[in-house]
Amino acid sequence: MLLFILVPLISVLTQSFYVTQPKVEVQEVETCSPGILTQTCVTESKQIPVLDEKGEVINETTFVGMANYWNVLEIDLMKEAIAESNWADILKIDFWSALRFTLMFTFITLPLVIVVGLLVALTVNSLIAKLRGGIIFISLLPFIITPIIGALSIKWLFAGDGILTVFLEWYLERDISIFSTAWTIEVLMLFYRVWHVAPFAFVIFYAGLQTVNKDSLESAIIDGANHWQRLIYVIVPHLMPLIIFVSLIHLMDAYRVFDEVVAFSSQAYVISLQWLTYDFLIPNDGGYRSISRASSSAMLTMVGIVIILIPLLRRTWNDYVGGKS
């Protein structure tokens, strides 16, 4: 099992230091076109792939050190932007704009998911038992359906003259085109992700609410605590381990944001880190997959999630060690 995961990881790490590309040689080519008095001749140097005996392109792999990383980070453009202290220019570089969106996406959806999930859980918990099964069923749908299809279903409500766009246009009395500005797409992506993950938070919190200690709730009532105080001082502390669990899972998943970019076809406006790697991996017009650049961008993505998770993992470790002694 470890083999299936560790070997690819190591191979990604190695590949990120190498470049494999068709071996080329530079040839001087003179092209002449007939003119009236003299021929017009242009000499240009072309890169021509070297072929072997079978007529296939020879690939060569060279060690390039950190070059792939600098390539992905576009370090030259970055230095330029920093030298001119022009921060907006940095965000025009693919990697940095992907990083900005991924982080923003992760940290904005996190509180929203928890709050919405908690609200729905409290609501369902106070309804009569007969209705609960049906509501849980409906709530599970956004969570369980294929992420791409979920995002598409929301996109189709807004795309072109989708009914919600028409409704918004009527309400705001102005023309709206959701998919032609970056921020509207981002808002829609945030909405989709909350819609998709809140049911998960809801189910977890709902299960947690079933085990709230009734005695402490009752004593809170006797002490004169109102609904809000009971929520803040009794229920939320009881749910705290679950809130941390949901945050952990959500951080991992939101950091991997990818399906939204594909479903909303937003690559011209908004991209995410995982989409960047994906984009390097799909063949370009010449059928060439830039695997080494993909490897270095994948490694950078991984470093990011490790940095985000270190505090949470350390906490789990401390709990474990503390629980034993």
Partner 1 sequence: MITTDNLRNSPLLKFLTVGFAIFWCLLASFPIAWITIMSFKLPVDAFSVNPLEVIFGYRTLESEKGFSLLDIALAVAVLYFLFRFLQKRKSLPNDKGKLSFWLTRGVVLPVIFLGLFFYLSFFTNAIGAKIGFLGKPILGFTLENYESVWVGREFYRNFINSLIVTTGVVSVSLGVGVLAGYALARVKSKVAFVLLIIALIFRSLPHSVLVTGYLPFFINSREILSPFLGEAAPTLYGQPLAIIFVLVAINQPFTIWMLKSFFENIPTELDESAKVDGCSSFKAFYHVIIPVMWPGVITTGLFSFLLAYNDYLVTSLLLDAQNQTMVPAIVSYFNRETTSTDQVEAVAAAVSIIAPLFILVLVFQKQIVSGLTQGAVKG
**Segment 103 to 122, residues that bind partner 1, using CB under 8 A:** 119-120, 122
Q: How far is the CB of 39 from partner 1 (least distance, A)?
A: 45
Among residues 255, 260, 266, 271, the one that binds partner 1 under rule CB under 8 A: 255
Q: Give me the DSSP letters along 149-214.
A: HHHHHHHHHHSTT-HHHHHHHHHHTS---GGGSHHHHHHHHHHHHHHHHHHHHHHHHHHHHTT--H
Report d(CA 174, CA 184) in Å as an integer: 15
Under the criterion CB under 8 A, does residue 11 sit at the interface with partner 1?
yes
Among residues 32, 48, 145, 310, the one that binds partner 1 under rule CB under 8 A: 145
Are the C-beta atoms of 212 and 235 separated by less than 8 Å?
yes
Q: How far is the CB of 141 from partner 1 (least distance, A)?
A: 6
Q: How far is the CB of 70 from partner 1 (least distance, A)?
A: 18
**Strand residues in the chain grouped as ranges (E):** 18-22, 24-33, 40-49, 59-63
Report d(CA 10, CA 253) in Å as an integer: 23
Which range in 78-86, 88-96, 105-113, 252-260 contacts partner 1 by CB under 8 A? 252-260
Q: Which residues, numbered 164-223, are part of the site for partner 1 (CB under 8 A)?
A: 166, 195, 199-200, 203-204, 207-209, 212, 214, 217-218, 221
The SS3 of residue 38 is coil
Beta carbon nearer to partner 1, 103 or 281: 281
**How many Cβ atoms are within 10 Å of 247's Cβ, its own excluded?**
16
Q: Which residues, numbered 259-288, are part of the site for partner 1 (CB under 8 A)?
A: 259, 262-263, 265, 273-274, 277-278, 281-282
Q: Annotate each residue in 41-60 with x if it binds partner 1 (CB under 8 A) or - if it does not, as one string.
A: --------------------
Which range in 23-31, 80-88, 172-180, 301-309 contacts partner 1 by CB under 8 A? 301-309
Are the C-beta atoms of 191 and 157 separated by less than 8 Å?
no
Beta carbon nearer to partner 1, 4 or 183: 4
Are the C-beta atoms of 152 and 189 separated by less than 8 Å?
no
